[in-house]
Structure 1
Amino acid sequence: MALSEHEQRLLDQLEQQLHADDPKFAHSMASDSRKSMSTRRLVIGSLITIAGILVLLAGIVWQIIIVGVAGFLIMGGGVYFATTKSKQVATGQPLGKPSKAPTGGKSGFMSSLEDKWDERKRDQT
């Protein structure tokens, strides 16, 4: 369902205000998520998954349940490792540096959103 012209203008205004208030956050939200996926983590996770499959098959061949379960867990851990983002990629900062606390500029943005919401409600009635 397409947005009306009024809704599109409001959305554009909100986007411009977000870029003005917090350009770093706006840029991180606009970035392509495929770029944030680490090739290194994908390769390592795939290798761990393959090792888990081999351990699972060894448990089946030797008929040792605990080895099969361990292989399954290793395989699941490899898939999890490959598909999650590292802390460094998720925050956009090196691992050793703590992130800064958000500044107080948010209240103006939120109050502006509330005012626009109230205005929209008044226009509808």
Structure 2
Amino acid sequence: MPLSEHEQRMLDQLEHQLRTEDPRLATQMADTRRDPVPVKRVVLGAVLAVVGLLVIVIGVANQLVPVGVLGALVVGAGIFLVTTRPRGGRAAGADRPGPGRGGRPGGGRPEGGRPGGDFMGRLERRWDARREQGD
């Protein structure tokens, strides 16, 4: 449900106040956008972790230290896959505007040079434009 004009104005004022009082916190809040981890990556990581645990059990049962170490590495790789996000690729940037997708010319980079622009920056520009219209 979209915000009313009054609610949007209040939100803009709160965000502007946050940026002026604590710019470091505002920057941290703006940079916390996380893309979801792809399901295939989670499933592969979980399978690797389970296989690694089985390899550890086999290594311990047969008193083979190198096999146990190999199992621990496989578990670590599985956990790494589950807890990290892929870099680049289609999944990470599919929702960002760019050339040919109705975005800005030059790959969707605003005057600040940051890809796609940041949320707080867009809100601040909107706030400044509204203040200029009111004067």
Shift of the 73–60 alpha-carbon distance from structure 1 to 2, 3 Å rule, reads same
Partner in structure 2 of residue 44 of structure 1 = 44
Partner in structure 2 of residue 76 of structure 1 = 76
Give the structure with the larger helix fraction. Answer: 1
The Cα of 1:64 is off from its aligned counterpart by 0.9
Q: Is the 8 A contact 1:58 1:68 kept in 2?
A: yes
Q: Please give the root-mean-square deviation of Cα atoms over the aligned residues, in Å.
A: 4.0
Partner in structure 1 of residue 7 of structure 2 = none
1:11 aligns with 2:15: yes
Q: Distance in 2 between matches of 1:89 and 1:59?
A: 39
Partner in structure 2 of residue 54 of structure 1 = 54
The Cα of 1:85 is off from its aligned counterpart by 1.3
Partner in structure 2 of residue 92 of structure 1 = 93
Q: Distance in 2 between matches of 1:11 and 1:60?
A: 57
Q: Distance in 1 between matches of 2:78 and 2:109?
A: 34
Shift of the 103–14 alpha-carbon distance from structure 1 to 2, 3 Å rule, reads farther
For 2:76, the aligned partner's letter is G
Give CA-to-partner distance per residue, 1:45-75, whole Å, 9 cap, x none: 1001111001111110110111101100100
**What 5-or-longer segments of structure 1 have no aligned partner?**
1-7, 16-25, 94-99, 113-125
Percent same amino acid at aligned positions?
30
1:104 aligns with 2:111: yes
Task: Say which SS state the counterpart of residue 111 (structure 2) adopts.
Answer: coil
Q: Distance in 2 between matches of 1:105 and 1:89?
A: 24
Q: Distance in 1 between matches of 2:90 and 2:82?
A: 13
For 1:9, the aligned partner's letter is Q
For 1:47, the aligned partner's letter is V
TM-score (norm 1): 0.50
